[in-house]
Amino acid sequence: MSSFIIVSNRLPVSVTRVEGKLEFTVSSGGLATAMSSLAIKDQLWIGWPGIAEDNLTAAEKALITKELRKYNCHPVHLTSQQVAEFYEGYSNDTLWPIFHYFQAYAKFSHHYWAAYRAVNRRFLNAVKKMAAPDATIWIQDYQLMLLPGSVRNILPESKIGFFLHIPFPSYEVFRLLPERKEIIEGLMGADLLGFHIYDYARHFLSSANHILGTTSERGVIEYQGRRVQVDTFPIGIDYEKFRKTLNEKKTKAEIDRLSDRYKNQQLLLSVDRLDYSKGIMRRLEAFELFLNEHPEYMKKVTMLIIAVPSRTEVETYKNLRDEIEQTVSRINGMYSTVDWSPISYQFQGLPFNDIVALYAKADVALVTPLRDGMNLVAKEYVASKRGRKGVLILSEMAGAADELHESLFVNPNDIRQLATTIHQALTMSKKEQIRRLRTMQTRLSDYTVQRWGQDFLDELANAHRSHRGALSKRLSATAIDTMLESYSQAKSRLLLLDYDGTLHGFSNSISASSVRPSQRLKQQLKRISQQPNTKVCIVSGRPRKTLDEWFNDVPKLLLVAEHGAWMRKGDTWQQNTDHIDMSEVEKLMRSYASRTPGSIVEAKDFATVWHYRRVNPELAFIRNANLKRQLTQLVEGTDLGVYSGNKIIEVKPQMIHKGEIAKYLEVEYPSEFVFCAGDDYTDEHMFEALPKNAHTVKVGFGSTHAAHQVGRLERVLGIIEKMSTAPIAANRKR
């Protein structure tokens, strides 16, 4: 079993069949380089080896598993259909265009989604087989966004990190995805979610808040009893590899060849994978405009386009290739002379030495994607400029723009601006070029891909510790057993239970029917109430009418409504405070509700509540702050107080709170065993009022007066269930 596992769609070792035999080829990439530099013991990489399962015999699959073990890799085998529907389908025909803001290209297919889920399950089975219970598991990219959540379910003690290598779109675009909730829930299984730049992290937080109803503070989301850290880690490059490659004979020879080939010319370089997100067509249009407006550069400048083949069997990409090649031919046909063509176009990948030589030679690099997660070409170009001048023209829409501030920024959709910037780059002084390059090189040499990998893993460990430590008074299984033993042996027992957030989860609706207690819970409470010398009280902020409706068939249950304003013993409700006029409070709240879609005003007997659970999170943040400020001014000098709860603002009498009720019940029903559970600020009054020997439990994170904390309300429900069947010591009286 491995203690450190990387999971990605593809392994860093590819398996191919050559003349009937299987061959294993090690690929070099940013992630592989980062991991190789960390020298982590017991490291294992899980992924697809690149050859379809249906093209392999059982013996060949066994051979692949055995051989890959030599590279610390473990294969996840996929069928040809799964590759087509999971990778080419959902990953690249659905997620890729949505995440890159090309929603018109997105294809939504039930079969694609089913394949995506099935393949993520295959990866889950591999992780389950190979990972130690407390392993560190780092999951990579958009193909495996369901995996963090499913791994969390089977390995709850593991450290799980996820990094997205492409942009995360704004909520307005992400919401177009039919499976948006499942995707977000899958990602929420991680301890740490990493993105290239802050904008992507911000978009994710917004989407999570909209879709799951969560809130976030300082990049931390609290969800289902867990804390998920969201942060940015701009991936770097293997800087030294590029610098060393410049000294190799192959590279120097290629630079000399390029110098002869483009003698007396300035070279514009465009290197991209063939993809509609890269903006190659806009680049061609801008270069054509530049030639038209600056005829003096005829025979003095050449644009070299390297388009690396990508998804050549997909219709959209075929059409893009045809469009590019036709445009190149048209421009060359219009401007070429006998001894010069303005554009040199190559539809192929190049050896690493040749690429570095091109970077070193090129006077200008055009890196102008319409949308890109990071774009390492920009960084590679800068790194390859040792002692040479050069200008980087960079799209504002690339993640690299957040770091490479000395480049010339362009809006890739603005053809005229791009043409003007090409002229600016070609006329920039050598001194200025060198100054800009050196500043960027200092930054790139400091934050390399190796540093990126180490930073992520360090922060993952911190996030895991932070989550574990967030429940500083974590209720252990041993403590529960001790508590239940005390419960059984006690002469008398008193249970004080909050309802919303403690016995039932929250709902977007304030309707009582949406959060009605289950029959199972009511039966458990009924059995506990019928135990000798035992009193159970529901202490809620809900109106008395609602509590009556819910618990009228649990006769021995004590009920407290509106945080203590009302109490029911038997069939009679007792009023504990005088009415205070709240007409102005209600008027102000309703004025906010009328212009805040999704908000609701609830008028209780002794309190008025503004609910904003269904309000757009960004709007809710603004309205919440403004309303609370105005309410505080409105009730100043009165006996009313303004309180913030879980997606609510409540105005109620200051003297009414659950602490007073807890004190009263403790005196009214003196008990050897006292148990109290709650989840928010109103319950803190109870925790504080009860004696130190009381068994108090807070549901959720943060500081608390409670003796114990649990992450999820299911832990409290489990305790209630065990109490309902606990053996009570016989013949013991108060």
Strands 608-611 and 648-653: antiparallel
What tokens were used for 204? 């994710």
d(CA 586, CA 603): 7
Catalytic residue (choose from 191, 498, 500, 680): 498
d(CA 13, CA 32): 10
Range list of β-strands (E), 30-128: 43-48, 73-75
Count Cα atoms within 13 angstroms, Cβ side, for 188: 24
d(CA 710, CA 344): 65
Strands 364-367 and 266-273: parallel
Contact 641/608 with Cβ under 8 angstroms? no
How far is it between the farthest Cα atoms of the chain?
111
Can you say whether residue 98 is alpha, beta or left, with left for phi > 0 and alpha for psi between -120 and 50 degrees? alpha
Which 3 state secondary structure label does DSSP give 534? strand
Amino acid at the residue 44: L
d(CA 156, CA 725): 28
Which 3 state secondary structure label does DSSP give 161? strand
DSSP 178-212: TTHHHHHHHHTT-SEEEESSHHHHHHHHHHHHHHH
d(CA 214, CA 207): 10
Q: What are phi and psi of 137, to 5 degrees?
A: -125, 120
With a CB cutoff of 8 Å and minimum separation 6, the contacts of 423 are: 290, 294
Least Cα distance to 364 among 280, 406, 277, 302 occurs for 302
Q: What are phi and psi of 133, to 5 degrees?
A: -55, -30
Angle, CA 411 vertex, CA 410 and CA 413 arms, to 5°: 135
- Taking each continuous run of H as one helix and of E as one strand, the counts in the chain are 26, 29
Contact 616/626 with Cβ under 8 angstroms? no
d(CA 510, CA 542): 10
DSSP-derived secondary structure letter, 405: T
What residues does 5 pair with on adjacent strands? 44, 137
Q: Output b/e per residue, 342-360; b: 16+ Cβ within 10 A.
A: bbebeeeeeeebbbbbbbb
d(CA 247, CA 384): 11
Question: What CA–CA distances, in Å, run from 327 to 111, 324, 340, 499, 538?
Answer: 36, 5, 17, 67, 74
d(CA 322, CA 723): 72
Least Cα distance to 206 among 667, 628, 619 occurs for 619
Can 498 be counted among the known catalytic residues?
A: yes
Least Cα distance to 315 among 626, 92, 621, 47 occurs for 92
Q: In terms of C-beta density within 10 A (0-12 exposed, 13-18 middle, 19 or more buried), how is residue 451 classed?
A: middle
Catalytic annotation, residues: 498
